Amino acid sequence: MKGDERVLVARVREELKELEDIVSRAERLMAKARERGDEDYLDGVALNLQSFYTGVERIFESIARDIDTSIPSGPEWHRDLLLQLSTELPGTRPAMIGRSLRNCLDEFRGFRHVVRNVYTFNLIPSRLQELVSVLRPCYQSLVDDVEAFCDFLVQLGEDCSS
């Protein structure tokens, strides 16, 4: 494998570890909010849900930049990036994520937009609970898909160096 691909795979895998911490924090804060009846914890939940998608997008941007050599631009670039990574690029790479994961991640993308554009006291607690309940399965699907993609990159690098 070429040096650039090794670095990319290492960065992506490190980002996945960071995302694991974010998922755990969001779950822990939601549990505290429920146990204590204290909605102040929901601010932390919202921040971690936003951070989750930001980290996912950082992974996607790395792949789009380093493998696809094309990062979307324009007002819909966040959505377009998600679509790009769920699409096979014949002769370049397979789809990085499947459709069901794309749909799950799109919920977090949309929520991040809400968090960035409204006051936290206007967030709906039941929506936060709903997102936290699908966060771990969504994260696990992400890990599965991204690890398979990293394996593809490793194999590609080995094939190119043979």
**Category of 124 on φ-ψ map: left (φ > 0), alpha (ψ -120 to 50) or beta:** beta
pLDDT recorded at residue 1: 40
Write the DSSP assignment of 108-129 as a string of letters.
Answer: HHHHHHHHHHS-GGGS-HHHHH
Distance CA 123, CA 39 (A): 10
Mean residue pLDDT of the chain comes to: 93
Over residues 16-34, the mean pLDDT reads 97
Question: 93 - beta bridge partners?
Answer: 89
Confidence of residue 57 (pLDDT cuts 50, 70, 90): very high
Q: 31-54 pLDDT, tens per residue?
A: 999 999 888 899 999 999 999 999
Distance set, CA 68 to CA 62, 65, 75, 81 (Å):
9, 6, 20, 11
Report residue 93: phi and psi, to 5°.
-160, 160
Domains and CATH numbers, the chain: 3-161 (1.20.120)
Residue 161: is its pLDDT beyond 60? no
What's the pTM?
0.92
pLDDT recorded at residue 118: 79
Quick check: helix, strand or coil at residue 130? helix
Distance set, CA 40 to CA 31, 43, 53, 117 (Å):
12, 6, 21, 19
pLDDT recorded at residue 160: 60
